[in-house]
Structures are given as structure tokens and as C-alpha cells.
Amino acid sequence: MKMIKTLLLFLVLFLRQLNIFAEDGHELWLRSKPAKPVTIISRGNSATMQMAIQELQKGWQGTAGAIFFLKLKKDISLQGDGFKLSASGVQASTELGILYGVFEMLRRQRTGETIHAFVSNPSYSHRILNHWDNLDGSIERGYAGKSIFWRTTDPFTVTQKDKALWQSYARANASVGINGAVIDNVNANPLILTTDYLQRTKAIADVLRPFGVKVYLAVKFSSPALVGHLKTSDPLDAAVIKWWNNKVKEIYQLIPDFGGFLVKASSEGQPGPQDFGRTHADGANMLADAVKPFGGLIMWRAFVYSPNDKDRAKQAYNEFVPLDGKFRDNVIIQVKNGPIDFMPREPFSPLFGAMQKTPVMVEFQITQEYLGHSTHLVFLSPMWEETLKSDTYQFGKGSTVAKCTDGTLKPQKYSAIAGVSNVGSDVNWTGHDFAQANWYAFGRLAWNHDLPSSQIADEWLKLTFNNATEKTANDAFYLNHHFLDPVKQMMLDSREAAVNYMMPLGLHHIMSANGHYGPGPWWGPVGMRADWTPPYYHQADSMGIGFNRTTTGSDAVEQYHEPIASLLNNASSCPDPLLLWFHHLPWDFKMKSGRTLWDEICVHYDKGVKQVRAFQSTWDQAAPYIDAERFSAVQRKLRSQSSNAVLWKDACLLYFQQFSKMPIPAEVERPVHNIDEIIQKDMRRENYDQSL
């Protein structure tokens, strides 16, 4: 048996030397490449420092035989885990700063960027992935396989395979500066706080620790009653407070650097302090007091809404603004980028400009719940950049969402940013090779929220498809014009293309109920909560389309500072991309382009289809520079995306045409589907899903 294993190992190594193994994308943007020798001068023998040294030794692409210093030294210019980088070394105040500086050096070497002396400090102190992973191994809104943390079969055994996967995951996070992970679903299972699951959490934390990735847990607010067998979970009840204090002590005994809790309360059926007549502040502060002695953080989600006839977009603001200033200093309010739910385009949440005494953090969604899952190529960095650069006017002009959340505009103990992870057990981690770019982009923006999306896309392409760059290394013109430039432009255009063929001009929440994937503007079963159905949002009728959030409607505009409120309130000044978010307008309303609103809607849907077809052409022309495996995988995905875009266009235009009674413009491609067939197919799928 031993001889057979030896022969198999030899065969594997031999085949790798011949480059016969297929490219599976597992290496992400950290693809291996023969390293040049380097002499490293450093002090310290911790696991983190050893990781930094190993990364340099196996990845150095600078001058052969160079001397490189790793220096731990405090400096007034360095904040948190920031670092100073020069051609000769890295200086930082922390060992993690050294590791981040090493990854920065290696990235610049591999992308051909100039390496000059500069200081890099993180925009946010806490840069966190939220995993919506369930304890049975499934992932809510995950499109890349099973959880890498949890499983149903033999759930508490930790294998070497587990540890190797967690280590690769942690290394990828560290390479882009991500320093935290909530490893279970916000719709939390109370069992996560029981002994066996905490022991597995400890095992995960032990592997992630050397890479600077702290573990956090999402917890169910009613855990004291559900697993503690108390009569109540009232946050002001003495027994409940004692239970949480004891549970927190137990966790920190196992995991001394445990990050804290993420809480989804009083939302979508999840229990919360309101169940006991208490406020969000009462619930958050009780948990904050429990973790404070250990340096823990409470991230309290502001994703709250209840079934009523009012505008759902206003509810988070209405619940949280009256509590501004009443939260402990280790509570941070986690706010989705928009006021509804990760739509292809939303205005920024008004909470970013309203909470002046309470820290808030942005929550982005990396996994593409409403943007084609792991089938559609949609580079999300432009979407996040759009949000971060939006001016809230909280403290006057220049009060961007980024500055409202990073501690620039008001004193706060913690700053943070979160991204709902798209990581799963698929060999390429994210299901779509280009979805890796969104994981990468989140980390880069979390570290430096001023980075332009074009730079992030350029970096990721060079790091991820370095086989292409190596093939044409001696011909920069050929490389740029035939691979990097066109594919980068495809990435940068992809989000706007998705908006065009899904929900243009401010339309939102008109997707199918079946997995939030395809179109479904018609979906509205009798008895269903109105705010769970598309007609609630698009409001299409014979008079027009759009949700009236002006002063004559729900008055959601009043939640924004001036001059934004007035800008959005007037249809003539409201930006076209948000027009139907804030206005219900007649079908013949004259747009800035000179077209009618109906024609403008048609043109946008048609443009989205044409953009995706152009992506197919761009990718096909990139074939000579891409390994066959990833080229074919992306090509297949683009074909599916193209057919999906046509379905979105046909379904939405044919459905809305029933109200507009206006012809589709001659220049727009004719529908190839019938609306009744689309709806019937969608209903059959819904019935099938409900029978499972």
C-alpha cells in the first residue's frame, strides 16, 4: 500500500510538471509562479510572521538575490494594521500589517506596478465577510456549492482536508486585507451556541488566526429560551443577561480573539427585542455589555420591515433614527447599501446620512442573489463604488457614504464594512470564475474605499489570468489591446448591462419569486404580503409606472438631506437611473433623451441584451490567451446569460405593454417569447418548488 501511494504521488508530481492538469480556478488571484531567490531580514517567529516570510519566499518576482526587510516598528503615520512599503521592505506596527504589506509587494510585482515608498492604512478597522452558511451545510443565497465550514454528515469531526481548505480561504482573505468572517447564517440556528458547534468554531478560528481573520457568529436573539431553557429572552431580564454573560465567557475561553456577534432581529420572522416590548437599543446594548470586557463588537442589522401598507423603503430609517445616540460604543448598525434589498440599483440608504451619533457600517452583497446568481457575469465593484461615493450631505457637501462610515466625519470607536460572501465548496470557490473578482473587489475596497473599479479589475485580470499575460509578456501592445483592455471593459460594463436587461430606470424587485433569478413582474398571489410581490414596487397601471416616493406619495424623499431631497422629488431633476424608484410617471412622459418613458424602457432592455452579446464576442476573441478550461466555462455561462437577458427583456416588455398599450419601437429587437407561456412556465416552477 505504501509503495502504491508513493507511485501515485510521483505520478501527480510528474503530471503537474507536464502541465497536464486542468485549470480549475482554485488558486484564485494567488496563482503559483516560480519564485526568484530573496534574502529576508526579520525578527519574530510568530505564525503570522512565518506566513509573511513563506509568502515572500514562494512568490518573490523582484530582483533575484534582493534583500528585503520586515520591520515591526510603530510610526505616527501608521493606523491599525497599516504598513509602509518600499522597494527594500515593509514596516508596520503589527504583525498583520507586515503580512498585508508583503501581499501588497507581491501583488505589485506580479501586476507590473511601480514599487515606490508609500503608506497604506485601512479605510475600515473591521473588514468582514458574512457567510449565510447553515449548520446542515447548505448556504442561503449561495450559488457555489456547500458550506466550507459546516456539514450534516459527521458535523463535528475536523479533518486535515477541512483545515487545508480553511487555510486556503484565510490566505485569500488576508491577501486582500479581509480580517473577519461571520461563519453562520444571519437567520441563525440557536444550536450554534451549543458546546459541539462552539468546539468546531474554535477549530476554524485556530486555522484562520495566523492570517488575521477573526471569527464572528450570527446568533438568534431568542437563544436563551431555545437553548438555555429560560422562560424568556427579554433583554432586560436578569436571568437572560446572566445567561448571555456566561455564554460569552464560555466562547472567549475557547476563542480569546473572538470578534463578536452579528444579529438579525425583528425581521422576516426572526425574533427580536420588540417581541418583549423593548427597543433595538435595549437588545443590542445587552449583548454589547456582555462582550465589551473582551473587546467584542455587536453588529446589529438594520434590515427590518413589517407587513403594512406603508413604504417598506422607509421602515429602517423610521425604526433606527429615533434611537440615534442610544447605543453602546461597541455597537455598530449594519445597513444594506440600499433601503430595499440588494437590488441591481438602489439609491443609498438614508440611514447613512441620518445616524449622526451612532456608527454605521455598509453591508454589500457579494453573492449575486438578484444579479444572476453564479450564472451571470456581473462585476460588482462599480455598484459598490457608486454607493461609497454617493454624497449624503450629512455634514454638508462631501459627506459621502464612505466618509459617513469610516470615522472621518464623526468620532467612533469602531469602523466596519461587510460583504455577504459568495464562497462555497465548488472547486473554483464562487461558481463562476469571474465571480471571484467580486470577492477580490470587496476586499480591496474594504481596505481602500477610494480605489477605482478600473484599477481593481486590471489587478484581478493580471493576477488571475497570468498565463495570458505571460504568453504575451514581450508584446505589451498586443496584450493590452487583445486581452486586458477589452475584457476589463467587459467587466466594467457588466453591472450596467445587468441593470438594463433586468430593472432599468429605477425599477426594482420585479424578479421571479422562484429563487430571485428570472423576471416576474406579474407575481402577486392572493393573500401574499404586498411588499413581497413585484406589483407593490412597479405599480404599473394604465396611467403609468413607478413607485411614488415624492411628497405627494410615501414621502420617502424627506429622509434625505437637502439638496438631495428636492433633486429626487422633482421628476425633471431626478437622475434617470432612479426615476421610477421615486416617481410614478405616465407612459408618454418625455425623457431627457426626447423619447417617451415607454420607449426609453424598451431601449434600455434592448441595450442590455446587446451588451451581453457583445460580451460573448469579447470573450470569444480572448480564447488564444485563456486556458481552455476556464475559457469554456465562462463561454457557457455567457451563453446562458445571453438567453436569460432575452427572457428578461421579452417578459418585462410584453407584461408592461399590457398597461402601456404602446408599440415596441421599431429599432428594438422583436420578442421571441410569448408572455402567457413565460408566466405559465414560471408558475409550474413555483408549484414544483413548493412541493419539494
> Domain of 675: which CATH number?
3.90.1330.10
Q: How many CB atoms lie within 10 A of CB 140?
A: 14
Q: Which pLDDT does position 307 carry in this prediction?
A: 76
| Alpha-carbon separation of residue 498 from 39, 264, 559 (angstroms) | 48, 29, 28
**Does residue 10 lie within any of the structural domains?**
no
Q: Which residues contact 323 (CB under 8 A, 6 or more apart)?
A: 279, 280, 281, 358
Q: Which pLDDT does position 687 carry in this prediction?
A: 62
pLDDT along the chain (692 residues), means of 10: 45 40 89 94 93 97 97 95 98 98 97 93 98 98 98 96 98 98 98 98 98 98 98 98 98 98 94 96 98 98 84 96 98 98 98 96 98 98 98 96 96 96 98 98 98 98 77 59 93 98 98 93 91 96 98 98 98 98 98 98 98 98 92 98 98 98 98 95 67 42
State whether residue 547 is helix, strand or coil. Answer: coil
Q: How far apart are CA 42 and CA 249, in angstroms?
A: 36
Taking Cα atoms as reference points, which of 338, 341, 346, 348 lies closest to residue 370? 341
H/E element, 365:
strand 360-365
Judgement on whether residues 258 and 376 belong to the same structural domain of the protein = yes
Judgement on whether residues 647 and 631 belong to the same structural domain of the protein = yes
Return the beta strands (E) in 73-145 as ranges: 83-86, 89-92, 118-120, 126-130
Judgement on whether residues 151 and 109 belong to the same structural domain of the protein = no
Judgement on whether residues 132 and 112 belong to the same structural domain of the protein = no
Quote the longest CA-to-CA distance of the chain. Answer: 81
Judgement on whether residues 112 and 140 belong to the same structural domain of the protein = no
- Which of 83, 98, 120 terminates a domain? The answer is 120
| Alpha-carbon separation of residue 430 from 207, 341, 628 (angstroms) | 21, 21, 19
Q: Which pLDDT does position 480 carry in this prediction?
A: 77
**Does residue 170 lie within any of the structural domains?**
yes
| Alpha-carbon separation of residue 245 from 198, 251, 476 (angstroms) | 16, 10, 60
For residue 77, give the C-alpha cell.
Answer: 503615520
**Does residue 355 lie within any of the structural domains?**
yes
Q: What's the half-sphere exposure (Cβ side, CA atoms, 13 Å) at 368? A: 30
Q: How far apart are CA 546 and CA 554, in angstroms?
A: 12
Exposure string for 624-662, b = 16+ CB within 10 A, e = fewer: ebbbeebbebbeebbeebbebbbbbbbbbbbbbbebbeb
Q: Which pLDDT does position 470 carry in this prediction?
A: 54
Taking Cα atoms as reference points, which of 379, 365, 400, 385 lies closest to residue 452? 385
Instruction: Yes or no: say if 588 and 545 are a contact pair by the CB < 8 Å rule.
Output: no
CA 213 from centroid of its chain's CA atoms: 17
Reported as a single tens digit per residue, the pLDDT across 78-104 is 999 999 999 999 999 999 999 999 999
Judgement on whether residues 256 and 208 belong to the same structural domain of the protein = yes
Reported as a single tens digit per residue, the pLDDT across 650-690 is 999 999 999 999 999 999 999 999 999 999 988 777 664 54
Q: Which pLDDT does position 478 carry in this prediction?
A: 61
Enclosing domain of residue 62: 31-120
Strands 118-120 and 83-86 turn out to be: antiparallel
User: What's the whole-model pTM score?
Assistant: 0.95
Judgement on whether residues 331 and 218 belong to the same structural domain of the protein = yes
Q: How far apart are CA 156 and CA 118, in angstroms?
A: 46
Taking Cα atoms as reference points, which of 346, 334, 329, 330 lies closest to residue 304? 334
- Which of 389, 421, 451 terminates a domain? The answer is 451
**Does residue 473 lie within any of the structural domains?**
no
- Which of 120, 136, 167 terminates a domain? The answer is 120
Residue 523 corresponds to which amino acid?
W
Q: Which pLDDT does position 514 carry in this prediction?
A: 82
Judgement on whether residues 266 and 300 belong to the same structural domain of the protein = yes
Q: How far apart are CA 610 and CA 470, in angstroms?
A: 32
Judgement on whether residues 416 and 507 belong to the same structural domain of the protein = no
Q: Which pLDDT does position 305 carry in this prediction?
A: 85
> Domain of 288: which CATH number?
3.20.20.80
Number of domains in the chain: 3
> Domain of 112: which CATH number?
3.30.379.10
Q: Which residues contact 522 (CB under 8 A, 6 or more apart)?
A: 534, 535, 655, 679
Judgement on whether residues 190 and 312 belong to the same structural domain of the protein = yes
Taking Cα atoms as reference points, which of 644, 342, 656 lies closest to residue 497? 644
Q: Which pLDDT does position 6 carry in this prediction?
A: 41
Q: Which pLDDT does position 44 carry in this prediction?
A: 83
| Alpha-carbon separation of residue 326 from 263, 273, 293, 382 (angstroms) | 17, 15, 19, 34
**Does residue 193 lie within any of the structural domains?**
yes
Instruction: Yes or no: say if 337 and 364 are a contact pair by the CB < 8 Å rule.
Output: yes
Judgement on whether residues 94 and 60 belong to the same structural domain of the protein = yes
Judgement on whether residues 534 and 598 belong to the same structural domain of the protein = yes
Q: How far apart are CA 630 and CA 433, in angstroms?
A: 7
Q: Which residues are catalytic?
A: 268, 341, 369
